[in-house]
Amino acid sequence: MRQALAELRDNLQRETFYEHLPAIDTAASTVLTRFQALYDEAFAARRQAYKEALDALCGTSGWPDLKEAEQAEVSRRLRERHTEDPHPEPWRQAETILDSLRDQADASKGILAAAQVALRKLVTPQAVEISVRSLLSGAITSQEELDAALAALREEIEKALADGRPVVLI
């Protein structure tokens, strides 16, 4: 592809580029074909990321307990991105579209996490969310630090349970 790009650039920069139209056409076709293959690969990876996220959401505890309309709303963003059609002429956005697709694939994890939070709130709206990270100040490097972290976690959970509220650790 690099050679085709170099030939295309060289021929287009010539004053007599019109004398090289067959070579320009061949090189442009090679570049566009390779770009389409790269786009198709990135689009398939994006679609797969959203399929895996949807599968994970459907496997999340409490999913079967939701009504169909609630499932549709919780999974909406993941489904929309999973079923989105490929761009008909991706080369028109060649400068940004491949990076955009990769970023969107990476975003599937965050969208899944948000959907799981929405699911959890629908299934157990009265639950207290306790952030384990907020109870830890850093890495646990000794038995004493482990005992302290577990004691802090236990204390927070016991407070919520004493109030009659279920606990979700995040």
Query: How confident is the model over 54-100, as pLDDT tens digits?
Result: 999 999 999 999 999 999 999 999 999 999 999 999 988 988 999 99
Q: Where in the sequence is the domain holding 112, given as residue range(s)? A: 2-125
| C-alpha separations of 72 from 32, 51, 101 in Å | 38, 15, 24
Say if residue 1's pLDDT is above 70: no
**Looking at the structure, do residues 44 and 90 belong to the same domain, yes or no?**
yes
**Looking at the structure, do residues 118 and 146 belong to the same domain, yes or no?**
no
Q: List strand residue ranges (DSSP E) for the chain, in order.
A: 128-130, 167-169
**Looking at the structure, do residues 117 and 131 belong to the same domain, yes or no?**
no
pTM of the entire predicted model: 0.74
**Looking at the structure, do residues 143 and 92 belong to the same domain, yes or no?**
no
Measured between alpha carbons, how far is 84 from 78 in angstroms, rounded to an integer? 10
Check residue 138 and give its pLDDT.
83
CB 81 within 8 A of CB 50: yes
Structural domain count, the chain: 2
Residue 141: band (very low, low, confident or very high) from pLDDT cuts 50, 70, 90: very high
Check residue 10 and give its pLDDT.
81
**Looking at the structure, do residues 99 and 136 belong to the same domain, yes or no?**
no
pLDDT digits (tens, 9 = 90+) for 116-129: 999 999 998 888 88
Q: Report the alpha-carbon angle 57-60-61, nearest 5.
A: 155
**Looking at the structure, do residues 41 and 109 belong to the same domain, yes or no?**
yes
